[in-house]
Amino acid sequence: MPAGLVISAPASGVGKTTLTLALARAWRHRGLRVQCFKSGPDYIDPAFHAAATGRASVNVDSWAMDRATIEHLVSRGTDADIVLAEGSMGLFDGVAARGVSGTGATADIAEMLGWPVVLVIDPSGQAQTAAAIAAGLRDYRAGVRLAGVVLNRVASPRHEDLVRRALSDIGIAVFGALPRHAEISLPKRHLGLVQAEEQAEIGQLIDEAARFVSEHVDLGAVLRAAAAWSVQPAANGLNVTPPGQRIALARDAAFSFVYPHMLEAWRAAGAEISTFSPLADEAPDASADVCWLPGGYPELHAGKIAANARFRDGLRAFAETRPVHGECGGYMVLGTALTDADGISHEMTGLLGLETSFAKRRMHLGYRLVALAAPMPGHQVGARLRGHEFHYSTIVVQPDTPLAVVHDATGSVIAETGSWRGHATGTFFHLIAEDR
């Protein structure tokens, strides 16, 4: 029977991903089968998990998914020896209003599945106060069990001793303490970490993290703290409708933000997926019946996308007779123009009238509950969808017909509605699940 743990922290940027990858690779080196998951709407971390474990990682999300869906997704870990679920933000951070089975907080997943929490705590600029923070997290919610902590970025042996003593005094186990180690820092950009597939040395970086953590953390104690668990997957699997029978999916460094569970659900429903690379100037498969452009980083490759005539002409020809849908970055590429961070405007495909700009960045972040006012691939008028929006682009012009009525997690109306024209549709939200 596998054992499960949740890796969380008081806040973002403390070292959850590094510890998760290091533990996964270190245990894999010791012959254990390790399965990772990611709590919350994140595209980047699951790819790192897969690189560390050799097994696909998927997102579980208490705001967008019901318990049956979450249990179906985590059931892939039943043949593993240890399951690690990496949290997002702080342990209890979610939205103000409850969604399908929770607020999107990592604590929801820990309580739902009965997995103890390993806290990563960065005591920089403090000592005994770190113990007070850990105690507060331990006692905040009765259904969430704290296994212990790993200290990260300790300044000195004396600093470590002060924090360890304070934690010992309140009965919280310390599994290890990591001094600062620049060699295992993961590079970042504006939407998070630089993607795993863009880092040629990712394997060596994870190996170094595993070596470093193995020297400073009691891996055996962490493993013993995990809770045995079993789950019966839901008979109906995921509640996801594929956008078509044969899907042409843009897939490269500019178009990579696709939830793994969505692709798996499409295939499970009988759909076929053929990938193409706009950056390599490839057009969508002419035999496909729908084209899907996911999000990613088109703003970093706008000049190349604008210059790739085979891609642009092929997509336009496809859209004359069949639906094309874009999410976030894909939506921007369906538009008329994209202005990059340097203020240079690049011509996009022009299937929609949308013009966007990164010259004046503004963050848009949050869950989205959507009611379609027009059909989009896989969904009819009136369909209710759950998704998430995260980008820094600004809409300059959006002249087309709104696609949906969009609310945030608290029920407030969101001005950004998506749009449609002809066979082209697009949204700034990324679809996570259909609303049951």
Structure tokens at 198: 């863009």
**Closest of 212, 208, 15, 211 to residue 124, by C-alpha:** 15
**Bridge-based pairing state of the strands 192-193 and 246-250:** unpaired
Three-state SS at 351: coil
Q: Is 328 a catalytic residue?
A: yes
Rounded CA-CA distance 149/245 in Å is 47
Strands annotated E in 233-314:
246-250, 272-276, 290-293
Three-state SS at 430: strand
Rounded CA-CA distance 34/38 in Å is 14
Q: What is the DSSP letter of 191?
A: T
**Closest of 102, 113, 106 to residue 89, by C-alpha:** 106
Q: Would you list the DSSP string of 364-399? A: EEEEEEEEESS-BTTB-TT-EEEEEEEE--EEEE--
Q: What is the DSSP letter of 52?
A: H
Q: List the catalytic residue out of 117, 147, 202, 328.
A: 328
Q: By CB neighbour count within 10 A (0-12 exposed, 13-18 middle, 19+ buried), where does 341 fall?
A: middle
Half-sphere exposure at residue 144, Cβ-oriented, CA atoms within 13 angstroms? 23
Catalytic residues: 328
